[in-house]
Amino acid sequence: MLFVKTAHLTHHQEVLKLTMRYCLLTAFILVASPYACGQVADKIYRGGDVVTVNDAKPFAEAVAIKDGKILAVGTNDEVAKVQGKTTEIVELTGHALLPGFVDGHGHCFGTGLQAASANLLAPPDHTITDIPSLIAELKKFAQTDTAKKYGIILGFGYDDAQLKEQRHPNRHELDEVSKDIPVYIIHQSSHLGAGNTKAMEIAGITAETKNPVGGVIRREKDGKTPDGVLEETIHYTSLMKVMPKMGQAEFDGLAKAGMKLYAANGYTTAQEGRSMPLVDQCWMRLADRNEMLIDVLSYPDISANETPFGLDGKWYSKATINGYRIAGVKISLDGSPQGKTAFLSQPYFVAPHGLPANFRGYSAMLDEDANRKVALCFEKGWQFIAHCNGDAAGDIMLGAVKDAREKFGPGKDRRDVMIHCQTVREDQLDVMKEYGIIPSMFGMHCFYWGDWHRDSVLGASRAERISPARSAMRRGMIFSQHHDAPVAMPSAIRILSSVVTRRTRSGDILGADQCIPVDAALKSITLWAAYQHYEEANRGSIEVGKLADFVVLDKNPHSIPVEELTNLKVLQTIKEGKTIYTAP
């Protein structure tokens, strides 16, 4: 394609054609010599450690960018060749420049909702340690302009595993905050919630209300009266009913708040990992107005609706449009292990209160529904990401993929994703490798819930291999790691520390043989996460031609003891050459 017939060209035309061909060829060569085509850098970053996450050239001294893309990577002398009179020199002053972090799985809009709610997180993220401190925080939030304006007291991030009482607050306790307006708190897993009596009334939940498929209404001692705690599907539908009506301005504000929090943590690419039409409409508005701070890749939910919003228009695209695109679809197959709603093949170590010892959770949908949805994805050519915390849910996903492959063939370059993989088994990883299914692991669980998994959820033996990244590495599999924000803060640093050390809140090491090295951990939040999204040619490493998406850390993760990874600081986030966050 690059070779042209020149027999009938004039000498001037032939030289021009050869020059163009030479410039095209050099664009494909990853060397620090784009000056051969006369390009001059807009900026040069130097004076620190450049961690490229590119095996061909893992470290460099300097990086040059032009028009939002990387122009040159190499030594100071090599990169200086593209320096001109207008080039801005950015001194890193000994800090480390890395590719911007890529979200393996999260909910960017929901992160904005978290920012607008009462903070109910336990230490070290906040201060909630028992139900009285939770109630006090909600009462404080009740006095805010937000609560008064919208007529709801909304809290996010409580965790019964971290509360002194080791249980969920009930509706009577939440009535202490208010009996007149709804009080609703969202569990840190986002899979459960609890409301006061007013919230139950608005949601239409009474003693006569039956449990829906894939959901549970927890009851008081009489076995009938709702105690205020809701699981899975009934939690989601009830939350929608108690939430106040918001206009476009409020939705846009939440989306922007989510992007700002991602950017403050070094992310230049976020995922909207289970989107609804109102949320996607919000992202589309912001993209149309060029108001996207970072790139957002969306996966509309097809758990309840098999005609996903947006996949029939321009936004379902291989490339982002003004910072946004719809990348595929989401299927949810079970709940959360920390909330004991994940679907396991073996019983929970300690069954939830009032349930039999053989309780092992439940699926979010019938097997035949999962088979039909996965088959639809193969038929339409949609990439899908499937929420599977429990290994029994993983069996449902892999069985559905097997049936779809038999009906439609394996497909071309399918990169379907098992989200969370908390209890994925070794035999399941073998099948995933065969099918090309990418594990996106929630390794942060080792820190946040490792002790809870060991002592209550799974028991010591099974807990040792939650999010088994080393097992995936042994098979040569590409995998990503994620934070699932707002389930946890969108902290790539916490991910990095957790998957390298697997240290729990109490200081225990949970499954030392599943620890992974720093290099692989960095790839799982940059290059491999980009690959998962079919974006490896655009982002995820510092290479010529890719987007100038960077994060500046105070130290090089390769140059410090692994115990100190948790103390790394994000100093700056750069999106396509523009600084979008600077640490105070």
Is 199 a domain residue?
Answer: yes
Using DSSP, state whether 491 is helix, strand or coil. coil
Number of domains observed in the structure of the chain: 1
Is 100 a domain residue?
Answer: no
Q: What are residue 419's DSSP bridge partners?
A: 387, 440
Could you give the angle at which helices 108-115 and 248-264 cross, rounded to 10 degrees? 100
Is 341 a domain residue?
Answer: no
Amino acid at 45: Y
Domain of residue 184, CATH code: 3.10.310.70
Who's near 210: CB < 8 A, 6+ residues apart? none
Distance CA 143, CA 547 (A): 44
Range of the domain at 132: 108-242
Distance CA 392, CA 312 (A): 33
Structure tokens at 104: 């393996």
Is 423 a domain residue?
Answer: no
Provide the pLDDT for residue 37.
58
Is 135 a domain residue?
Answer: yes
- Per-residue pLDDT tens digits of the chain, which is 584 residues long: 332 233 333 333 443 343 344 334 334 333 444 444 579 999 999 999 999 999 999 999 999 999 999 999 999 999 999 999 999 999 999 999 999 999 999 999 989 888 889 999 999 889 999 999 999 999 999 999 989 988 999 999 999 989 999 999 999 999 999 999 999 999 988 889 999 999 999 999 999 999 998 899 999 999 999 999 999 899 989 998 998 888 899 999 999 999 999 999 999 999 999 999 999 999 999 999 999 999 999 999 999 889 999 999 999 999 999 999 999 999 999 999 998 999 999 999 999 988 999 999 999 999 999 999 999 999 999 999 999 999 999 999 999 999 999 999 999 999 999 999 999 999 999 999 999 999 999 999 999 999 999 999 999 999 999 999 999 999 999 999 999 999 888 999 999 999 999 999 999 999 999 999 999 999 999 999 999 999 999 999 999 999 999 999 999 999 999 999 999 999 999 999 999 999 99
Distance CA 476, CA 470 (A): 10
Provide the pLDDT for residue 9.
37
Burial level of 197, CB count in 10 A (0-12/13-18/19+)?
middle
Is 143 a domain residue?
Answer: yes
Cis peptide before 124 (omega within 30 of 0): yes
Half-sphere exposure of 502 (CA within 13 A, CB side): 20
Distance CA 61, CA 220 (A): 64
Is 225 a domain residue?
Answer: yes
What strands lie across the sheet with 267-275, from one edge to the other? 101-102, 267-275, 295-300, 324-326
Is 146 a domain residue?
Answer: yes
- Token look-up 């709940």 returns 335
Which secondary structure element, helix H or strand E, spans residue 388, and what is its range? strand 384-388
